[in-house]
Structure 1
Amino acid sequence: MNQRPQSGAELTVPSLHRWNAVLWVLLGVVPPAIAVADAPGATRYPVLALLAVLALSYGAVGLFPNSPVLRPRPYLYVLVVGLGAMSYLLDGSAALFVVTLPHFWIYTTGARAAITLSGIAAAGVIAGNVVRQGWDGEFFTGNVIFTLIGYAAGVLIGLGLRHITEDGDARARRLSADLEDARIRLVEAHHRQGAADERERLAREIHDTLAQGFASIIVLAEAARSGLETDPGRSAKQLLAIENTARENLAEARVLVGAAPRSGVAPGSVADTLRRTLDRFTEDTGLGVTSELPEVACDQQTRIALLRCTQESLANIRKHAAATTVAVVLTAQPYGVELEITDDGRGFVTEDSHGFGLNGMRKRLDELGGELTVTSSVGDGTRILAMIPTDGQG
């Protein structure tokens, strides 16, 4: 179906069209029809027929605006001829011309066409009036003056409304362009934020897995080297631990590059997962670890977060605390799961701690709606408390 292209300056607001149609019928069509009700048939029938043609033409264009046959421009030509003929048939037809003026602005795409066609219609109305009265009659009758005034007022009002509409359309286009630009910038910002978030996630995963594994390998390698002559049996165990840690790091690296399941954590309960981690820590460091690890129902994300918090805490203990004992307690609370890790090491000033590890733990817990509490002071050891809300689903 062909659709007439609409200029931004066209006054095509549906509500205005409806009001214009109502006013045109009430003030333009009905008064001439009433005026010729008692007129002789030679006047009455042509006037009524002409009004019917104009009304039907206007109705057809209004009801079928996208019709390839009923186009607005031919209707305007019919209107020009009809207004001139009405002026010839009936005195006082200037009123019909005035209320019809909006049609020339509604159904044209430019001001020049509206001014030209309405000017031709005005000339036709004046000519019809002159021919009806005779060339020897008075030219500037009330009908002619009213037509000229109406035409001038119509041009001024039409130009004003067209300017307002075009200005509004220009502002709307600028606003649309600004909104599109803002949308593009927002999409770019989201992409940048997504990339930054992914980099941060990868950095956190690398810190919590590969970096901790490499640190453990270094410590074990140093210990194994120093005990090769004095305690070869222990050095052999440490070398085996290095091999196992390297394998785990390789598995974690495959996870990070997408060649293995996303979590990189062996299946099992959270208690079993933490118990394996603590056993490895004891084996690597020789520190005594006491633990209370009951079976707690939680989902995979919670299990991974608790494991990463445990790994980070144990790594910090090994590197900084100089502790002799470590305690790990896992507790199921009505509001969630709590993991408490304490040591009797040298402690630190929490306000001065801005390490990547603690911040990474906080962000990991925040993503699950949890909370990290760090309590420590110099010489009094450290307490790490991780809380994650859970619905109890494992």
Structure 2
Amino acid sequence: MNHRPRTEDRFRIRMLRRWYIGLWVLGGLWPPLVAMHDRDPATRAVVFALVAVLGVSYLILLMFPRNPVLRPGVFLTVLVLVLGATAIPLEGGAAFFIVSLPMFWIHTRTPRQAVGFTVAAAVATLIGTLIGPIYSPGNTVFTLIGLAGGILLGLWMDRVLRQGEERARVLGAELERAQSELAAAHQRQGAAEERERLAREIHDTLAQGFASIIMLAEAARNAIETDPATSAKQLLSIERTARENLTEARVLVGSAPASGGATGGIAPSLRRVLDRFAEDTGLTVLADLEDVECDQPTRIALLRCTQESLANVRKHAGASTVSLVLARAAAGLELEITDDGIGFTPNTARGFGLDGMRNRLAELGGELTVTSAPGEGARVFALLPLPDRS
């Protein structure tokens, strides 16, 4: 029967069929020709002609499987007729019938068709055996045994193949479902990672800018009558911060290009951040910045860590002095930010800022260490690996 095997089984089935064709030629077509060597010329010619017609029809079937004239059903009909006709001069055709049994299962589509052709071939063989010149009971018995065995074995094989196909179909469906679930999980994970990235960027840029605007606005409002000059500076700082926030917002929504990926120094950017911080807060800022060249992701990570640390100092530390050190070391690029504020307990600190800094550095293979205690200030230490300079 024409089952549709999967790709990994096709080669194996093709090889088995080739072996069977060789067996059928040697055990089916060849023996009748050998048996006719001592018969009269007319009988020998008839048997040779029948075997030749059968062999040629099968060869055409193999070469042109979609031939509309010689379809598998036509070939099997020829096989049935040849089995019956050759059984007469051979005085029984049990051997030829038995070796041809797989043909009826290979070239049919349903078990019913296979059983039908098998029964027809057995009947033809038995008729040829009965009307031959010498009746052979043994051939009759072996033909009947071949009929029963062929049908039982064929039905069993058909059941095994169908069960295998059903298992393969179920496994294929499960695999497709698993792949679909995995793709959905990857999509959800990607969406979650993107949300986390956007939340981190918003916290480190827009949220910090808005917090700075609020603090500057409150200070300007309180001093607008007593110290107009200071209020004017604070209003100017509010304007600059708002413009920077607008630029950051455009970058986040994709309406403005982000900075390129070329390498460059980070020190100038950090100095501008420190100058703005000192101007807005009035705190003493000490800086020792080595102008180290690094790629864009590293520059952004260091800049965001600095901004987040300074924002925490402004909101929570109550410090008077802030110190920042940037240097290249054997382990990589080191950024240290310290303050002399009230300090805190790092293990109990909760907030998006510290986690965001840790995650940002971890994505680049770096790490963040926070050291502090109540009344002893705080120290933020960031370490990022740098590629070796050739």
**Both structures adopt the same fold (TM-score exceeding 0.5):** yes
The equivalent of 1:274 in structure 2 is: 270
Q: Report if the CA contact (8 A) 1:33-1:48 is conserved.
A: yes
The equivalent of 1:364 in structure 2 is: 360
Relative to structure 2, which stretch is displaced further, 362-371 or 32-41?
32-41
Measured in 1, the distance between the counterparts of 2:61 and 2:178 equals 40
The amino acid that maps onto 1:28 is: G
Measured in 2, the distance between the counterparts of 1:261 and 1:207 equals 20
TM-score of the two chains, using structure 2 as the length reference? 0.92
Aligned pair in 2 of structure 1 residues 231, 179: CA closer, same or farther (>3 Å)? Answer: same
Relative to structure 2, which stretch is displaced further, 313-322 or 334-343?
334-343
1:170 and 2:171 correspond:
no
1:198 and 2:214 correspond:
no
Kindly state the Cα deviation for residue 35 of structure 1 after the two structures are TM-superposed.
2.0
- Identity rate of aligned residues, in percent? 57
Deviations 1:256-311, CA, capped at 9 Å, x for gaps: 11101135999963111111111111111111111111211111111111111111
The equivalent of 1:351 in structure 2 is: 347
The equivalent of 1:127 in structure 2 is: 127
The equivalent of 1:103 in structure 2 is: 103
Relative to structure 2, which stretch is displaced further, 225-234 or 30-39?
30-39
The amino acid that maps onto 1:103 is: M
Partner residue of 2:294 out of 294, 298, 321: 298
1:333 and 2:329 correspond:
yes
1:323 and 2:319 correspond:
yes
Partner residue of 2:242 out of 234, 239, 246: 246
Relative to structure 2, which stretch is displaced further, 89-98 or 245-254?
89-98
Measured in 2, the distance between the counterparts of 1:67 and 1:389 equals 70
Partner secondary structure for residue 376 of structure 2: coil
Measured in 1, the distance between the counterparts of 2:105 and 2:362 equals 62
Aligned pair in 2 of structure 1 residues 9, 226: CA closer, same or farther (>3 Å)? Answer: closer
Measured in 2, the distance between the counterparts of 1:326 and 1:49 equals 108
The equivalent of 1:54 in structure 2 is: 54
In structure 1, stretches of 5+ residues that fail to align are: none
Measured in 2, the distance between the counterparts of 1:279 and 1:264 equals 24
1:184 and 2:170 correspond:
no
Deviations 1:162-198, CA, capped at 9 Å, x for gaps: 0000000001001101111111111111111111111
Q: Report if the CA contact (8 A) 1:271-1:295 is conserved.
A: yes
Q: Report if the CA contact (8 A) 1:293-1:329 is conserved.
A: yes
Measured in 1, the distance between the counterparts of 2:56 and 2:262 equals 81
Measured in 1, the distance between the counterparts of 2:260 and 2:242 equals 14
Partner secondary structure for residue 91 of structure 2: coil
The amino acid that maps onto 2:269 is: T
Measured in 1, the distance between the counterparts of 2:154 and 2:252 equals 68
Partner secondary structure for residue 28 of structure 1: helix
In structure 2, stretches of 5+ residues that fail to align are: none
Partner residue of 2:371 out of 354, 375, 380: 375
Partner secondary structure for residue 386 of structure 2: coil
Q: Report if the CA contact (8 A) 2:260-2:296 is conserved.
A: no
Aligned pair in 2 of structure 1 residues 377, 69: CA closer, same or farther (>3 Å)? Answer: farther
TM-score of the two chains, using structure 1 as the length reference? 0.92
The amino acid that maps onto 2:218 is: E
Partner residue of 1:259 out of 255, 259, 262: 255
The amino acid that maps onto 2:231 is: S
Measured in 2, the distance between the counterparts of 1:271 and 1:363 equals 23
Aligned pair in 2 of structure 1 residues 6, 111: CA closer, same or farther (>3 Å)? Answer: closer
Measured in 2, the distance between the counterparts of 1:305 and 1:93 equals 88
Partner secondary structure for residue 89 of structure 1: coil
Matched residue count: 386
Structure 1 residues 82-93: aligned runs within 5 Å: 82-93=82-93
Measured in 1, the distance between the counterparts of 2:308 and 2:276 equals 14
Q: Report if the CA contact (8 A) 2:262-2:296 is conserved.
A: no
Q: Report if the CA contact (8 A) 1:346-1:379 is conserved.
A: yes
Measured in 2, the distance between the counterparts of 1:50 and 1:372 equals 90
Measured in 1, the distance between the counterparts of 2:291 and 2:68 equals 77
Q: Report if the CA contact (8 A) 1:255-1:264 is conserved.
A: no
Supply the RMSD in Å over aligned alpha carbons. 2.4
Kindly state the Cα deviation for residue 372 of structure 1 after the two structures are TM-superposed.
1.3
Kindly state the Cα deviation for residue 68 of structure 1 after the two structures are TM-superposed.
5.1
Partner secondary structure for residue 378 of structure 1: coil
Deviations 1:49-75, CA, capped at 9 Å, x for gaps: 322322233233334435555532221
The equivalent of 1:213 in structure 2 is: 209
Measured in 2, the distance between the counterparts of 1:213 and 1:387 equals 25
Relative to structure 2, which stretch is displaced further, 157-166 or 263-272?
263-272
Measured in 1, the distance between the counterparts of 2:78 and 2:211 equals 92
Q: Report if the CA contact (8 A) 1:343-1:381 is conserved.
A: yes
